[in-house]
Amino acid sequence: MPDMDPPPNAEEVDGQKDTKTKTESDGSETNKETEEAEETVERQLFLLDSNGLVAPQNFELPVPESNEVAQQILEYLVKDGPVTSLLPNGFQAVLPAGTEVLGLSIEDGTITVDLSEEFKEYAAEDEVKILEAMTFTLTQFDSVERVKLRINGEELKEMPVSGTSIANGYTRANGINIVPSDTVDLINGKAVTMYFPTEHDDKQYFVPVTQYIEAKDGNIHQAIVEALIDGPAYDTNLMHVFNNTTMLVDNPKLDSGVLEIVFNQNVLKDMESGVIADEVMETLVRTLTEQESVEAVNVRVENVEQIANESGEVYTKPVTRDVFTPSQKF
């Protein structure tokens, strides 16, 4: 697949460009010594949006002087902290103002974070959102699967305000923006995190929501795609990106980490040109690669030789998650 720009799901970061010449009031230009641009790296932070949902945004953050990547990214989750000037409209940080990262360690996929007493100063209704934001931010790194917390060196078995249990730590399996359900059999159903786009001030971004779905005939991937076609169950302004007449024409097949999905032609935005909407492709790839066994998604359309994105670039190979999100390693 040709290189594609990531979706416009983060505000432009100011202050990362070289200093330019300055024009004086008399119209003459004075040469200002060009400062060396600060080296940055793209990171994903999970923040609170205007609807109170936890959602990811991509930022260019300064490269840490040492290997303190996890500490830096947590500091950018603190209210009134360094992220403040970078926040897109409608977004806010999740950790209480003044929270300090006293230390952290990682062993066998579990990262243990030691925080200051200020961490306790949050509203009860924000407790689970804080856990979700911290967990999804830290587990974007390949080496992190589970998050455990301490305050001033004392391990937390439960959260300090509403008592949410964290004795075994917190993982992505705990979910994010969980959709309550009274229609799905929770015993036989599976919690699945799906991504849907939304907009704020004409800026589009994707929101993860976790809901229980029932896998018919044991094919969880088919159940996930059909749930995406049905659209978001969350009662917010999340977008329904699929045409109502979109259908799978075959069961999804997983082979060596690549999931092949075959739709009818109604999945296309432009049937004549074979164009599939960017929002549809990103919804599929972000959602399905949350499944541990899926590394890439190969979307095919019945009786269509090749499909392309909205810029006319043909999809020549399966699409991986890092097309839309930065690939992260410590």
106's tokens: 């990682």
**What confidence tens digit (pLDDT) does each residue in 290-306 have?**
998 999 999 999 999 99
Question: Residue 204 has what pLDDT?
Answer: 92
Instruction: State whether the Cα torsion 147-151-153-157 is positive or negative.
Output: negative
Residues 6+ apart with CB under 8 A from 16: 37, 38, 40, 60
pLDDT 10s digits, 38-68: 799 999 999 999 999 999 999 999 988 766 8
Cα(228)–Cα(137) distance, rounded to whole angstroms?
Answer: 24
Residue 62 is predicted with a pLDDT of 92
So what's the pLDDT on residue 218? 79
Of the candidates 178, 94, 104, 118, the one whose C-alpha atom is nearest the C-alpha of residue 147 is 104
Q: What are φ and ψ of residue 201, in 5° steps?
A: 50, 45
Alpha-carbon dihedral sign for residues 93, 95, 96, 97: negative
C-alpha pair distances (Å), 115 with each of 97, 163, 181: 12, 17, 34
Domain borders along the chain are 40-174, 190-322
Model pLDDT, residue 217: 77
One pLDDT digit (tens) per residue for the chain, 330 residues: 444 443 333 333 233 333 333 333 444 444 443 345 679 999 999 999 999 999 999 999 998 876 689 999 999 999 999 999 999 999 999 999 999 999 999 999 999 999 999 999 999 999 999 999 999 999 999 899 999 999 999 999 999 999 999 999 999 999 999 987 666 555 667 899 999 999 988 889 999 999 989 887 778 999 999 999 999 986 678 999 999 899 999 999 999 999 999 999 999 999 999 999 999 999 999 999 999 899 999 999 999 999 999 999 999 999 999 998 876 666
Side chain identity at residue 290, one-letter code: E
Rounded Cα gap, residues 156 and 316, in angstroms = 48
Rounded CA gap, 247 and 268, in Å? 11
